[in-house]
């Protein structure tokens, strides 16, 4: 039996509306609570006013505050013991290198499949969504 993950919150920071919509739709269909931000600044604003999510999916190239800037601010202003894992989403040729640069916990190379997202969720949340 597969249990839904209604107690798990995922913050998706992505400026491309199609990707943001698709991720939100998929994750919610799997039972996650999803909050979104269109850039790193929106993500930081959310984190300052709300409980820490269980996971952050972070695009790297965005206007206002990009993924590298978000990651630097996140590490400086939120205690390591309270921080959620960050998974970088990037179209760069070497997604793993971008994740290391941002000191992220994981990465998804764009375009990515639902199976790849599911694998990252299992790795960092220990869950088996839909």
Which tokens hold the place of 9? 């919150």
* CA–CA distance, 75 with 102 (Å, rounded to integer): 10
Contact of 43 with 20, CB cutoff 8 Å = no
Query: Which is more confidently placed, 30 or 127?
Result: 30
For the chain, the average pLDDT equals 88
The per-residue pLDDT for 2 is 43
> Tens digit of pLDDT for each residue in 17-38?
999 999 999 999 988 999 999 9
Whether the model clears a pTM of 0.85, i.e. scores above it, the answer is yes
130 CB neighbour count, 10 Å cutoff: 12
Domains and CATH numbers, the chain: 9-125 (3.40.50.2300)
Highest mean pLDDT among 38-42, 64-68, 103-107: 38-42
């Amino acid at each position: 039996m597969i249990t839904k993950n209604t107690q798990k919150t995922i913050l998706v920071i992505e400026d491309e509306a199609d990707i943001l919509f698709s991720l939100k739709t998929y994750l919610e269909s799997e039972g996650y609570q999803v909050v979104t931000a269109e850039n790193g600044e929106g993500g930081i604003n959310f984190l300052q006013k709300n409980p820490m999510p269980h996971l952050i999916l972070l695009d790297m190239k965005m206007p206002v505050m990009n993924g590298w800037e978000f990651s630097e601010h996140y590490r400086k202003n939120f205690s390591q013991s309270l921080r959620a894992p960050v998974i970088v989403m990037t179209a760069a040729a070497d997604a793993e290198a971008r994740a290391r640069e941002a000191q992220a916990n994981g990465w998804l190379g764009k375009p990515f499949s639902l199976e790849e997202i599911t694998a990252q969720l299992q790795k960092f949340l220990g869950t088996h969504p839909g």
